[in-house]
Amino acid sequence: RAELIRFANVEGRVVPDPRALATGRGAWVHPVRDCWEAAVARRAFQRAFRAPVTIPQETVDFTSPWPRSAYTS
């Protein structure tokens, strides 16, 4: 888990919880844009939280500086 970032469901919104202090279910994602985009596209947050959630712009902004891919060529 040291390499993952936790996200929490706070009142139906996906919010970053990098220190893993929020209560309840969490969703863990590699801090890489490709992983983030795959999780969003596959509705992984809804499945992880077992509830409908929205992803606010602040959460998207949190992930924007992440590198594009974990793999280098």
pLDDT tens for the chain, 73 residues: list them.
Answer: 779 999 999 999 999 999 999 999 999 999 999 999 999 999 999 999 999 999 999 999 999 999 987 565 4
Kindly report the pTM of this predicted structure: 0.88
Q: How far apart are CA 28 and CA 73, in angstroms?
A: 26
Q: How far is CA 54 from the centre of its chain?
A: 12
**Model pLDDT, residue 25:** 93
Q: Do the beta carbons of residue 64 and residue 16 sit within 8 Å?
A: no
pLDDT at residue 61, as a whole number: 96
Q: Are 12 and 2 in contact (CB under 8 A)?
A: no
State residue 2's pLDDT score: 79
Q: How far is CA 45 from CA 33, 39, 71, 72, 73, in A?
A: 15, 7, 24, 27, 30
Q: Hey, which residues does 16 pair with through a beta bridge? A: 7
